[in-house]
Amino acid sequence: MKTALITGISGQDGAYLARLLLNKGYRVYGTYRRTSSVNFWRIEELGVDKHPNLTLEEYDLTDLGCTLRLLERSGAEEVYNLAAQSFVGVSFEQPVTTAKITGIGALHLLEGIRIVNPKIRFYQASTSEMFGKVQAVPQTETTPFWPRSPYGVAKLFAHWSTVNYREAYGIFGASGILFNHESPLRGREFVTRKITDAVAKIALGKQDVLELGNLDAKRDWGYAEEYVEGMWRMLQAERPDTYVLATKRTETVRDFATLAFRAAGYALEWRGRGVEETGVCTRTGRVLVRINPKFHRPAEVDLLIGDPAKARAELGWEAKTTLEQLCAMMVEADLERNRRGFSC
């Protein structure tokens, strides 16, 4: 039986990856943070929280000693570093905390692997945010980076640290440059889930209007469950490398909102420009979406679209779920949850 360690099992990807590895017969150690109220709703929703091969470990990525003990205790052969302060917006308000968790935290694991067991295979959750102010379209493994947020900068540090430990110490460090991936398990602070949850609440008469920031930002959105499969494939490869996982399709935030409202039976028409822009229901004339400048970021990533050709050729990975299917799945889940008063 193989043993894997997943940091950040309480997050979206951690939950899906845990289910994938448990289904493959792995023993899984999954880490969560000590908080006043632990949040296991995702692994509960996937029905793996009580799996006999799952061990939940209290852990903070910023603590080197804790990292060393965890690597030793778990005896993990594969380590998936998914833990991070992962919200770009918050990283502008908490840049130092973000650097410590998202940047230095990954280095703690790499150092831990070097000290405890250099044979451990390591996956680093890198991100399309590292491309930031994009230098080429579509983005590939060789596109130059230009991060536009403290989060992007911290992730770039972790990415290059992974590459450096690969080159300097021969550690099997794989870096997955994943473009946005979403699901019904996405946190509600991220724009897709914020939209699908609001659409459900508006449809059920529990919310009047949805407030958003930059509607023009373009993202390459895929389905999270498929992306964790890609992470696993990277650690089964013959040699460690860097791979882009993406759909090669990009849409605006405005388009995603239009799709989400359509999935709940609303036709939206966009009127006005800039901060005056509104999304209006064509049937009733009611304003369903408006702009709130507080959701704008000090520096924005305007256009992300990834080319996953290398992952397809070398790992046999490709995204299958369309944005329409993903959006409908998320709206459906949020309608169902809101009907039963669920609040995560």
Question: Active-site residue numbers?
Answer: 127, 129, 151
Instruction: Say how far apart CA 68 and CA 323 lie, in whole Å.
Output: 40
300 binds, among ligand GDR, ligand NDP, none (CB under 5 to 8 A by kind): ligand GDR
> How big is the CA angle at 29 (ends 96 and 334), to the nearest 5 degrees?
70
Binder of ligand GDR out of 159, 166, 194, 254 (CB under 6 A): 194
Binding mask 42-81 for ligand NDP (x = CB under 6 A): -----------------xxxx-------------------
Binder of ligand GDR out of 57, 77, 255, 300 (CB under 6 A): 300
Instruction: Say how far apart CA 227 and CA 220 lie, in whole Å.
Output: 13
Q: Is 89 in the site for ligand GDR (CB under 6 A)?
A: yes
Minimum distance of ligand GDR from residue 52's CB (angstroms): 31
Minimum distance of ligand GDR from residue 302's CB (angstroms): 8
Which are the contacts of 187, defined by CB distance < 8 A and separation ≥ 6? 11, 12, 87, 193
Three-class SS of residue 238? coil
Contact predicate 292/211, CB 8 Å? yes
Residue 308 DSSP one-character state: -
Nearer to ligand NDP, 182 or 202 (CB): 182
Contact predicate 27/53, CB 8 Å? yes
191 binds, among ligand GDR, ligand NDP, none (CB under 5 to 8 A by kind): ligand GDR
Count of chain residues binding ligand NDP (CB under 6 A) = 28
Contact predicate 234/207, CB 8 Å? no
Minimum distance of ligand NDP from residue 175's CB (angstroms): 11
CA distances from 93 to 89, 98, 181, 194, 328 (A): 8, 9, 24, 20, 33
Handedness of CA 177, 78, 184, 89 (dihedral sign): negative
Q: Is 139 in the site for ligand NDP (CB under 6 A)?
A: no
> Which residue is at the shortest CB distance from ligand GDR?
217
Q: Is 12 in the site for ligand NDP (CB under 6 A)?
A: yes
Binder of ligand NDP out of 4, 6, 11, 150 (CB under 6 A): 11
Strand partners, 252: 218
Tokens of 338: 């809101």
254 binds, among ligand GDR, ligand NDP, none (CB under 5 to 8 A by kind): none
Q: Is 255 in the site for ligand GDR (CB under 6 A)?
A: no
Instruction: Say how far apart CA 134 and CA 228 lie, in whole Å.
Output: 25
Angle between helices 105-116 and 64-74 (to 10 degrees): 50
Please report, as residue ranges, which positions from 104 to 133 form the binding site for ligand NDP (by CB under 6 A). Answer: 125, 127
Contact predicate 226/319, CB 8 Å? yes
Binder of ligand NDP out of 4, 8, 150, 212 (CB under 6 A): 8
Residues that bind ligand NDP (CB under 6 A): 7-8, 10-14, 31-33, 35, 39, 59-62, 82-86, 101, 125, 127, 178, 180-181, 187
Residues that bind ligand GDR (CB under 6 A): 86, 88-89, 127-129, 179-180, 189-191, 194, 212-214, 217, 219, 253, 295, 297, 300-301
